[in-house]
Structures are given as structure tokens and as C-alpha cells.
Amino acid sequence: MSFYQEMRDFVLRHGAINNPYLDRFQTGALTDPEFRTFAVEFYNFARFFPRILVAQLVNTEDETVADELTKVLYSELGDGRTKNRHELLYRDFLRSLGIDVHESMTRPMLPSTRAYIDGMEQLYSSGNHAMALGASFGLENMAITMWDHLIPGLVQLRTHRHPGLDITYFTFHRELEATHEEAMEHAVTAVDGVKGMSAAERKDFRSGVKAVLDYLEGFWMGLEERGAGPSQAATETAPRTSRVSRSRGR
């Protein structure tokens, strides 16, 4: 088995995309308070991800890898079409659910969401290029499975409770993900080419893959544990320490 396939198989088995919250979401089995919490918390990923990508791009030495990261970033910004900027598409989703964009931008994140965003930023901006690339690989290779859980649930919610729901952000991403996976495959091939990554680099790459997926699993489990609980849970102070060096064994 190639290193690329080994890592891809690891991603597809991980709890980041195999967990009770996503299983529940896929069937549309969320209360309205749970759904609104999801909408606001996931917005933090949509609006901060371009900044996180830029941090990785400016810290990447390999020019072939930088080329592939640029393609993903350009896609996030709408491929030159400002109306397709992904964060703007997400705002349309929020508005269709009756959620104020300003409120969503200013509401304190759940601790699990803050840990996910901060953890990604630390990984992507790391001077350890193998670890940063591993994090990017993990995120892009879980994405299709994630959208294939979220979109059916959104369709159910639109059909039965929210007929005006705009899910373009999600369906648009699902269509793009094959190109993002391809970009990551090219990037990994570039650094693991004829000579191949050293044993240390492969170890760091694996650590990056695992760490970003652990953060994502924590994000979903934070939503699962919160459920429809009291709103003051969103105001808790979020931990900012990195889990890169203490991510759980699996």
C-alpha cells in the first residue's frame, strides 16, 4: 500500500467523520435549537478557513505544494467570482435560517469550536511543513464524507421544517471537493516523489493528519454534548492550548 493510500484510509476510518452527531445530522434528527447552534458554530470554520490557508501558504517552502494550496485558496475565494466566495455563500445560508450575520460573527464560540479553529491555525502555520501538509491532507480527504452526511440532513430539514433554507454553500462545496482532493494528492506526490519523505517527515505528516482530525472530531462532539442546552454554554472561555502533542491515541 502506498503512503498516500495508507493515510487516506486512516482519514476515512477516523471519528472525525464517523461519529454519532454526523449520523444524527444525516437523517435530519436535530432540534431547531441544535440546528441553529450548528449553523453559527460551523460559520466560524467558513469564515476563518481562508486565513488559515494563507498562513500555510506563506510558510510553505516547496513551490509545487504552494501551487496546489493556491488553487484551494483561490477556490475558497470564489475562483475570481466574488459572488461565489464561500463565506458569502454561507451568509446566505444563515440569512435563510433567520440568523443575523453580525450576531454570528460576534457570538463567542463554543470551547470545542475554538479548539478546532485555533488548532487548525497552529497546524497550518507550523514551520514543520510535513505536519502542516498532513493537516491539510486530512481535512481535504475527509470533506466528501462530511458533506455526504450534512447535505442529506439539510435536505430533510428543508423539506420538513425550513422550506426557504439555502444550502448552496454545502452543495457547491460537495461539487468542488474532488478537485481539492486532487490538489492534495499532487502536493503529497510532489514531496514524496522519487526520493520520498524521510521517516521523520512521514511521522510528522501522520501527526498532522491525526491532529487535525482529532480537532474536528472534538468539534462535532462539542455540538453533540451541547445538544439543545442553555445558551450560556456558548460564552464559556475556550482553551487555546494546542492538542498537537497530546492528541489521543487511536
The per-residue pLDDT for range 113-170, each reduced to its tens digit, is 999 999 999 998 888 888 988 998 899 899 999 999 999 999 999 999 999 999 999 9
Position 246 in a domain: no
Position 42 in a domain: yes
Q: Are 142 and 217 in contact (CB under 8 A)?
A: no
Phi, psi values for residue 155, rounded to 5°: -65, -40
pLDDT for 34 beyond 60: yes
Position 243 in a domain: no
Closest CA to 233 of 99, 106, 105, 110: 110
| pLDDT on residue 246 | 38
Position 248 in a domain: no
For residue 191, count other CB atoms closer than 10 A to its CB: 17
Q: Is the pTM of this model over 0.95?
A: no
Indicate the number of domains in the chain.
1
Beta-carbon contacts of residue 106 (< 8 Å; ≥ 6 apart):
none
CATH code, 21: 1.20.910.10
The parent domain of residue 175 ranges over: 3-226
Percent over 90 (pLDDT), the chain: 55
Position 250 in a domain: no
Position 130 in a domain: yes
| pLDDT on residue 77 | 72
- Amino acid at the residue 181: E
| pLDDT on residue 222 | 97
Position 242 in a domain: no
Position 245 in a domain: no
Phi, psi values for residue 158, rounded to 5°: -70, -40
